[in-house]
Amino acid sequence: MTTEIDDVVWESLREAATAAMARSYSPYSKFPVGAAALLEDGRVISGCNVENASYGLTLCAECTLVGALQMGGGGRIRAFYCVDGAGAVLMPCGRCRQLLYEFRSPQMVLMTSHGIKTMDEVLPDAFGPENLENQQ
């Protein structure tokens, strides 16, 4: 069954995240992750985790997704979906929630293990560009 919120087709995002997860480079943790996002202009972008032997240099799937966003001309994320190697929904870590916050549209929603949530629900009282503008 396909779940829609407005014109977000969650099944399509899940499929894109799963396809991205299949491209993961995770030889150390053996924990592949894929992410996909629907942009305001209708494009779908994706990313996968890319590990490194020094562990601390590992890139989360959200990081490569945002890199793809910028390389593809930019834009704002309307909807986000992340999966593990079994295809189960994953919640972005705190670092990645902050990264997604920077590139969100005001109406951005995420699929979580507890259903669809807004960015404000998963990162309340977030620090962002608007905070820096207020300091000048």
- What is the pTM for the complete model shown? 0.91
Closest CA to 9 of 72, 82, 65, 81: 81
Percent of the chain residues topping a pLDDT of 90: 85
62 is annotated as an active-site residue: yes
Encoded tokens for 68? 């793809």
Beta-strand relationship, 115-118 and 4-5 = unpaired
Q: What is the pLDDT of residues 26-49, one digit of tens each?
A: 999 999 999 999 999 999 999 999
Please identify every stretch of the chain with a pLDDT value under 70, giving residue numbers as ranges: 1-7, 134-136
Give the relative orientation of helices 10-21 and 61-71 as an angle to the nearest 10 degrees. Answer: 110
Neighbours of 77 (CB within 10 A): 25
Which region holds residue 45: left if phi is over 0, alpha if psi is between -120 and 50, else beta? beta
Position 3 scores a pLDDT of 52
The one catalytic residue among 4, 62, 102, 133: 62
